[in-house]
Amino acid sequence: MSSCWTAAVTGVGQTEFSSGSGRSQSRLAIEAALLAIADAGLNPGDIDGIIPYQIGPPAEDLIAMLGLGDVRFTAVSHLGGASPVAGLRTASLAIAAGQAEAVLMYVARNGRSGDRVESRVTQQVPGQQFRHGLEHPLGLSLPVQTYSLMCRRHMLDFGTTREQLGKVAVTMREHALLNPHAQMYGRELTFEQYVTSKPIALPYLMFDCSLETDGASAIVITSAERARDLPQPPVLIRGVAEGHADSADDLSARNPIYGTGLAKAAPRAFREAGIGPADVDVALIYDCFTFQVIQQLEAAGFAPLGQGGAFVEAGEIALSGGSLPVNPHGGLLSEGHLAGMNHIVEAVLQLRHAGGDRQVPGAEVAAVTGWGDLGDGSLAVLTN
């Protein structure tokens, strides 16, 4: 099964997450990269493969700054926010094929103080001719608007409620209060504050939206065999898959509009890992907006279709008392939006049992989802 190409995450590193880094994206990238390489117990010169994010500093910048004489593998996984998780597979395959021995992946952005994430996303999503020719002239342009179209339809079809959306936001914030690294650490969020926050694109309110963040996250991947000789407990990449929604480059033709590539990717990833959704101890869900957590809980198989809202409302995603703690770090909603690279970092910390106050006791299996480019989905199953 997957053992023939099992790789491991051996190092993680992150800068602080803030609303104003005061530094360039390249500087953020190199800081996180150096932390991840040191965490892995490696030297910069050991890196021979690089997978940058599709937006931000390219591989060449890191090759130069790390002083790498002969990087022999680079690739970009171009699935928007589903890219970091899909990149775990790209890295694993490169290592299994002997094309690289130590692969560095990173996301670095000044999402708050520089170009806002949402405006860059608008320019990066597929089907640009549809966006510019059939949507922008009619008043539709931002991710918060298109994602709210999905949310509304799900509410109509299944009775998903405002209270359930709010429960996602409040739960993510409760988790962030246990994470000193979170952008929203120390800032409580009540349901009352949530429900009275500014309307952005109804049904989405301000607190339905993830954070615009300055910062960087990086990880280092090696073969599982090599990882055993490195200082950190290895986190094994057991299964990874990507999937694309029907009408992959346009939402108008997608029916139901909340269909996602994750529903196709998740069974593949779980099958490859030989592990099922019921075995997962902690889930890192790509929470670009509140409803997208509910949507992905269903698509990944953690809750039946239409039952994601009730699952959340029953407290199942909470660290405290939930059957499936989701995003102990606070997620994109309350830790920061590093395109989900921070979700992979959190999964690694949880599986090392280094989660501090937010540790899921005894976590052995983590699932990480990615979501991007209108409907691309990815899922990784990681174990310790």
Partner 1 sequence: MNAELAALDGPRPDRRDPEIRHFWDGLTERELRAQVCADCQGVQWPPRAACVKCQSLQLTWHVIAGSGTLSTWTEVHRTGLAGYQDLVPYAVGIVEIDETPVRMVGYIHTPDIDTLVAGERLVVRFAERGEGVVLPVWHRESEGA
* Residues at the interface with partner 1 (CB under 8 A): 119, 122, 127, 129-130, 132-142, 144-145, 148-150, 152-153, 156, 198-204, 250-253, 255, 257
State both tokens at 136: 């922008």
CA distance 356 to 350: 9
Residue closer to partner 1 by CB (options 120, 353) is 120
Shortest approach of partner 1 to residue 77 CB, angstroms? 25
Q: Which residues pair with 109 in a beta bridge?
A: 215
Inter-residue contact 91 to 8 (CB < 8 Å): no
Q: By C-beta, is 144 or 219 nearer to partner 1?
A: 144
CB of 302 to partner 1, least distance (A): 24
CB of 136 to partner 1, least distance (A): 4
> What CA–CA distance (Å, rounded) separates 316 from 330?
15
Nearer to partner 1, 118 or 376 (CB): 118
Nearer to partner 1, 113 or 145 (CB): 145
Residue 39, CA distances (Å) to 49, 99, 219 in order: 17, 23, 9
In the complex, minimum distance from the CB of residue 258 to partner 1, in angstroms, rounded to a whole number? 9
SS3 (DSSP) at 47: coil
Work out how close the CB of 114 gets to partner 1 at its nearest, in angstroms, rounded to a whole number: 15
Q: Which is nearer to partner 1, 142 or 314 (CB)?
A: 142
> Minimum Å distance from CB 150 to partner 1?
8
The residue (of 256 and 274) whose beta carbon lies closer to partner 1 is 256
Q: Under DSSP, is residue 15 helix (H, G, I), strand (E, B) or coil?
A: coil
Both tokens of residue 5?
């190409």
Q: Please tell me the number of Cα atoms within 13 Å of 369 on its side-chain side.
A: 38
Supply the DSSP symbol for 174: H
Helix H or strand E encompassing 224: helix 224-227
Please, which residue, 203 or 322, has the CB nearer to partner 1? Answer: 203
In sequence order, what are the residues at sequence separation of 6 or more whose Cβ sits closer than 8 angstroms to the Cβ of residue 144?
Answer: 118, 200, 201, 204, 209, 289
**Residue nearer to partner 1 on the CB measure, 6 or 164:** 164
Give the amino acid at 111: G
For residues 6 and 274, the answer to whether their CB atoms sit within 8 Å is no
Please report the sign of the dihedral spanned by the C-alpha atoms of residue 92, residue 97, residue 101, residue 106.
negative
Please enumerate in sequence order all residues whose Cβ is within 8 A of that of 338, keeping only pairs 6 or more positions apart, or say none. 14, 17, 107, 109, 213, 215, 216, 217, 332
User: How near is the Cβ of 143 to partner 1 at its closest, in Å?
Assistant: 11
Contact between 327 and 175 (Cβ < 8 Å) = yes
Least separation in angstroms between CB 248 and partner 1: 11
Least Å from the CB of residue 198 to partner 1: 7
Between 144 and 216, whose beta carbon lies closer to partner 1?
Answer: 144
Dump the DSSP string for 83-114.
HHHHHHHHHHHHHHTTS-SEEEEEEEEETTTS
Helix (H) or strand (E) holding 266: helix 262-273
